[in-house]
Structure formats: C-alpha cells, structure tokens
Structure 1
C-alpha cells in the first residue's frame, strides 16, 4: 500500500500567534478523533523560524486525505486562520524507501 505523506508548513503573522496556535491544536485533536485513514498527524514547531509550524501527515489514500479536507473541523480551521497566515506551503510525498 502506498501511503500519501503531506508536509504542511505555515507561518503565522505575529499578531495572531496565540489564536493561530489554538486553531492548529484544535485541528490536530479533531483529526485524531474524527478522521479515518489517518496514520500520522503530528504538529511540530520550527525551532529556527518564529511562528512557523509544520504538520507531518500520513494518510492511507488520496481519497481519505480529500475526505479530511472536506470535514467541518478542517473547514473551521481554514476559516479560523483566514488572514492570519503569512506564508504556507504544502508538499505531497510518496515514500519510496
């Protein structure tokens, strides 16, 4: 089985550090409770870049990842961070070794 690995990096604007972190934690908790097919969903803080967080995710399939992105808790997360993110990048990876 080929898992889908996602590395999502986002930097919060300085004024939204606390509210942004709360939204990140809420997404992390809800994903672990509500999303099937989630093998790994870890939240990390960058030690060298202020207000920068990284989700490292592993999903059983693209379909289950898409389902996650359509759930209410993911949409609430997007709304909570609207206008509060300085930068964001998302990488989809396929583990080969």
Structure 2
C-alpha cells in the first residue's frame, strides 16, 4: 500500500489543524473527567474520615455499658437479698 503524495500543501495544513483541534477537544474532555474523578475521590476521603471519627466516638462511648450492666446486676442482687432478709 503506497501513500499518494499530497496534492495541495494547504489542504494538508488545514487537515492537520482540524486534527489538532480534535485532539485538543479530546484532551480537554479527558482533563475534565480526571478533575471530576479527583473531586469525587476527595469527597469520598472526607466522608470516610468522617465515618471513622464517628465510629471511634461510638466505640469510646460504648465501653461503660458492660460495667454499668454489672453494676445494675450487683445492685439488684443486693436489693433482692435485703428484701429476703426483711421477711
């Protein structure tokens, strides 16, 4: 397959300029998409950080529950024994 010689250098220049414009538009689209992906990644990172902080706060707030349950059990046992001793 042979490439025919260009018949008009101006036509080649025009086609190259069109190709350059098409490539520039394509790169602009890709750059816009990458910017959107980067923005969503930042948002996801912020949401994940927020969720981790909230989970840590819940874990810290949860620790006294078993101690409180044991304390309530001991107090109820003491009250039951006290009531039995009063009869």
* TM-score strictly above 0.5: no
TM-score in terms of structure 1 length: 0.22
Instruction: Give the structure with the larger helix fraction.
Output: 2
Select the structure with the greater relative contact order (CA < 8 A; seq sep ≥ 6). 1
TM-score in terms of structure 2 length: 0.24
Q: Higher Cα Rg: structure 1 or 2?
A: 2
Instruction: Give the structure with the larger strand fraction.
Output: 1
